[in-house]
Amino acid sequence: QKEVEQNSGPLSVPEGAIASLNCTYSDRGSQSFFWYRQYSGKSPELIMFIYSNGDKEDGRFTAQLNKASQYVSLLIRDSQPSDSATYLCAVTTASGTYKYIFGTGTRLKVLA
């Protein structure tokens, strides 16, 4: 079983819709959770991080964490074509403070 799993996509949504990106992780003791956006040919860019169960909102982005279900998601409201990118979920392990495990990413396409 992969440590951090994401659906590779592509996930296609129309402009203005809500895009929902999901991530599951296997280490129950994982502590911190991050969402990165990566445009083609560019480096990963941090969008949000979340540590506690529940929702965290930042502009059009909402991260949701459910540690009991080992599940973290990212909602993008009012999706724009400029949101089209690969979204990477990253988790820090419980065993150490310096290791971040990335998922394989979900490719999002927002259709104009």
Partner 1 sequence: DTAVSQTPKYLVTQMGNDKSIKCEQNLGHDTMYWYKQDSKKFLKIMFSYNNKELIINETVPNRFSPKSPDKAHLNLHINSLELGDSAVYFCASSFGGRSSYEQYFGPGTRLTVT
**Which residues are at the interface with partner 1 (CB under 8 A)?**
31-32, 34, 38, 42-46, 49, 51, 86, 88, 90, 92-94, 96-102, 104-105
Of the candidates 27, 31, 23, 5, the one whose C-alpha atom is nearest the C-alpha of residue 97 is 31
Of the two residues 17 and 101, which places its CB atom closer to partner 1 in the complex? 101
Q: How far is the CB of 43 from partner 1 (least distance, A)?
A: 4
Question: Distance between CA 78 and CA 60 in Å, rounded?
Answer: 7
Q: Closest separation between CB of residue 71 and partner 1, Å?
A: 19
Min CB(89)–partner 1 separation in Å:
11
Looking at the Cβ atoms of 14 and 66, the one nearer to partner 1 is 66
CA angle 65, 17, 70 (to 5 degrees): 15
CA triple 27-73-28, angle to 5 deg: 15
Task: Check residue 29 and give left, alpha or beta (phi > 0: left; psi -120 to 50: alpha).
Answer: alpha
Taking the least distance from each CB to partner 1, the nearer of 17 and 32 is 32
